[in-house]
Structure 1
């Protein structure tokens, strides 16, 4: 069942902070109660326009994610008097898992292939000449994976600054175990000298593998463990029958673009109830985002991109 088919049951709005953000750093946030409408990869690929369920009285509006960019105007018109704002533009990247590892690898750019080979060779050399990749699939295996991956996640900037590390709460654990019992999870750890330094956690939805949670020890940045682990996970997924696509989900990323075979231009669209507070909120976010974009442009022109990246990540 696609996300569109499930929207009729997703009628509860919840708290969503509208962040004034520079990279991973949130300077402030305005709380809103929004109904989330997340579209699946299939929805994005088919150009679906979701219905907008009725809002409860306390809700401020909707947040529609992975909406095909060429369908945004149609949804804005369908929303009536709601105040629209495109929060993010990106390509939802995916990889065709039916073409085989060799066919996929040959289709990458020469530069990407060279970089992946070099990074893999270097990390293996640091580990005595071999890669230590550990796969997890059953409930017992996932319990061990989670304990080790959480130790990595706690050191990542995603968890420290974005609150988007590998979840530790009981709801996530229950969901993980239920998926594992149904054989609907694939997870991996990359180890160096016997110690985990990177993790990748992917639910399997139908014939699609979903890029859900990923992280690596920042002390190992120079070894590019995330890229190496992704490559080796792909090697295993391509060899597994019954899988059709790898969904890199929302958001941009050079590694996604480099490893994908297909992409759909998408937006995350805010639709807020008309009113002065919501209008001022959207104007404030728009002005802030324009200022950040200008600052990034000036930083790049001044040749300080590396310093800016460290500052955004709290380095």
Structure 2
């Protein structure tokens, strides 16, 4: 499929190079077990593979499996997850005292603004998911994920068909947080082989000062601890929100394996140079104490 290789700062894409790539994503189980994925045959028009959530210690083995292709690591991160088998009480004890008190304070603040009740609504059946999607989609339109990344809650026919099929099999969940009667945040998760996935999430920026995403995440996890599941998977990528709620993590990389052409070599040189410059800028921003300003610029 055509996949853009982005020159990206936070949520802002400054430029991109289009390549025909075969995406090879590893599941959480595969990442935990350290499996090396099987590479499907490449079509003649394809430039290579995009491998996501590859365990970091499998980097050299994956490059060797590429058989002379250009191996380029685009991203290092921890794939975070929550062990849902430990029980909700044990989970709360595993969180830091600062995290527990902070989440409690945020929940009380939202409750106070909402007239004394924390208004969380749960959805799972096909009819319920219709109602969920209508409201969540309106929230999504206002999020930076939708505006800048094009990664909001989808509304195309394929997504909706899949959502209804999963709902009929009891393999999808949706949550909405209302604040003072207004929809403020949503979370959409699919369930496969005992693992709930953090697929789509967002909140209305008008409520950002109340941290609606964190409040909703805690209540969703409370529900999932009672659902006889194994894990909650925060999927690819790092972030403070994921680190705050996770109990475990797997060091991972996203790797490109590209055909050994001049164009692809120049592409990886450009991406590498940009990534190094972005990393230097991030360190300088942190050193100068400008993280909040940088976050606003990126979004």
Q: Same fold (TM over 0.5)?
A: yes
> Residue in 2 aligned with 1:216?
203
Q: CA deviation at 1:40?
A: 0.3
1:116 aligns with 2:103: yes
1:261 aligns with 2:247: yes
Map residues 1-315 of structure 1 onto 2, 5 A cutoff: 14-240=1-227, 242-313=228-299
Q: In structure 2, how many angstroms separate the alpha carbons of the residues matched to 1:214 and 1:202?
A: 9
Q: Structure 1: any 5+ residue segments left out of the alignment?
A: 1-13
Q: CA deviation at 1:256?
A: 1.1
TM-score by length of 1: 0.94
Q: CA deviation at 1:296?
A: 1.5
Superposition misfits of 4+ residues, deviation over 3 angstroms: none
> Residue in 2 aligned with 1:9?
none
TM-score by length of 2: 0.99
Deviations 1:166-211 (A, max 9, x none): 0111110010000001110011000012221100000010211111
Q: CA deviation at 1:231?
A: 0.3
> Residue in 2 aligned with 1:3?
none
Alignment RMSD (CA, Å): 0.8
Q: In structure 1, how many angstroms separate the alpha carbons of the residues matched to 2:291 and 2:81?
A: 28
3-state SS of the aligned residue for 2:236? coil
Q: Aligned pairs, how many?
A: 299
Q: CA deviation at 1:300?
A: 1.8
Q: In structure 2, how many angstroms separate the alpha carbons of the residues matched to 1:39 and 1:302?
A: 37
Q: CA deviation at 1:126?
A: 0.8
Q: In structure 2, how many angstroms separate the alpha carbons of the residues matched to 1:236 and 1:50?
A: 33
Q: In structure 2, how many angstroms separate the alpha carbons of the residues matched to 1:304 and 1:247?
A: 31
Deviations 1:34-60 (A, max 9, x none): 000010000001000011121000000
Q: In structure 2, how many angstroms separate the alpha carbons of the residues matched to 1:106 and 1:183?
A: 30
